[in-house]
Amino acid sequence: MAAFQKTRGRIGQSKYTKLYITLALLQGITIIALQSTIVAENHAQTLNIAFSFPSSDQQNKDADVIINDAVNRWIEIKWENIAVIAFQIWFVGMAFDAIVYQNAAEIIALAILNSICGFLSIIPITEAQRWADVFDRLYIDYSVIIDVSPSQTAFYAEIAHTAIFILCSLTFNYISYLVVKEFGWTIYKKIGPIVAIQKMYQIFQFFVLTLKIDIFLEFFISCFHIARFAAAGAGLQWDGYIEIAVTFLTLPALYLGRMTASSEHYGRMLLFIGFQLAVIFSLVLMLWRTVLRHSAWHMWFAFVIMAIVFAVATVVLGAWTMSNFGKGLGPYVRRGTQKKEQISRDELLERRSVSSWRIDDD
């Protein structure tokens, strides 16, 4: 009940926080609805391509290669659509988190990531046009007739999706700017005027932020990669087992990193940083395997490269946060029972101080 009241109070704190959450929800609902339509149409297009055959036996081989490439590419596009839906769900959750915990760094990062994904949404439009030309060539050169009505519907939905996404991103950036200005004073009231503590708190916030971003870029992206090849019936190789092990441990490790930063435990932070290095290795293997397949999966390349960049940032910020252990930030970042214990100790010290002054007065 207390958590609900806190969430409600933070969201209703000002007109800007209300606008922020409202816009995040509107964007999420609209984009998910459009992407669900696109997924259904792309799946129908995949079936249309898979059941298309050339009319001449002499041309079977060349046409089959093109058709097979088209089927594989359309399957990849479908997974891209699912990834965008997952991003929107994660994005809405992060928007609530940023407002409830009044994290200015999180709001800035969300605005940047949202803008990047908004402009990346242009790629499927160019891809759809390119494949429309390929289907025309199949008909002219090999007399292969493919029903492209699902892809045409998806194409128009992609145009609407991109336009809405970019418009929402620009509006969201402006609202984010207003909310960040409002939160600057909130952080000052929480930390106080000590500049050194403020700087350490900012580093801590950025570290926690990368952990939240890693939930999507490390965990969900790895899950998509594993699910993609499981659905395709592809056998696992040695790197696949590494990816599964790392993916299975990612969420517990991210939780460990968050709790370790609050408790200021050197050993556990070193363990977390070591795991992040294993994540980077797994992501590089993922990228290497994609390159070996000569895939033109541009959106996937962008997501994996972003995951590697943020994993490296997590390592750097984790080490930086660890260097600030024991320098006075602890009371401001402790959570749960640790925070209650700290408050109890502070209250006890305050009572002893008051008692001491009373004795001196006597």
Tokens of 263: 């408790």
| 184 alpha-carbon distance from chain centroid | 24
pLDDT value of position 351: 44
Spatial separation of the C-alpha atoms in residues 317 and 269, rounded to whole Å: 11
pLDDT value of position 12: 84
Spatial separation of the C-alpha atoms in residues 120 and 305, rounded to whole Å: 13
pLDDT value of position 104: 83
With CA atoms as reference, report the closest residue to 180 among 25, 8, 17: 17
pLDDT value of position 346: 45
Spatial separation of the C-alpha atoms in residues 298 and 11, rounded to whole Å: 37
Tokens of 218: 């490390």
pLDDT value of position 231: 65
Type of residue at 265: H
Question: What is the chain's Cα-based Rg?
Answer: 26
pLDDT value of position 362: 40
* pLDDT tens digit sequence for 315-326: 999 999 999 888
Mean pLDDT calculated for residue range 117-141: 82
Mean pLDDT calculated for residue range 338-347: 46
pLDDT value of position 330: 78
The DSSP result for 33-73, as a single string, is HHHHHHHHHHHHHHHHHHT---S-GGGHHHHHHHHHHHHHH
| Location of structure tokens 């972003």 | 306
The percentage of the chain sitting over the pLDDT mark of 70, rounded to a whole number, equals 83
* pLDDT tens digit sequence for 32-91: 999 999 989 888 888 888 776 655 555 567 777 778 888 888 888 888 888 889 889 999
CB 120 within 8 A of CB 302: yes
| Location of structure tokens 């260097």 | 323
CB 275 within 8 A of CB 249: yes
| Location of structure tokens 């960040």 | 180
* pLDDT tens digit sequence for 245-292: 999 999 999 999 999 988 888 999 999 999 999 999 999 988 887 777
**Quick check: 349 pLDDT over 50?**
no
* pLDDT tens digit sequence for 173-216: 999 999 888 876 666 666 666 778 878 888 898 899 899 899 98
Spatial separation of the C-alpha atoms in residues 257 and 213, rounded to whole Å: 13
Q: Positive or negative, the Cα torsion across 113, 41, 154, 145?
A: positive
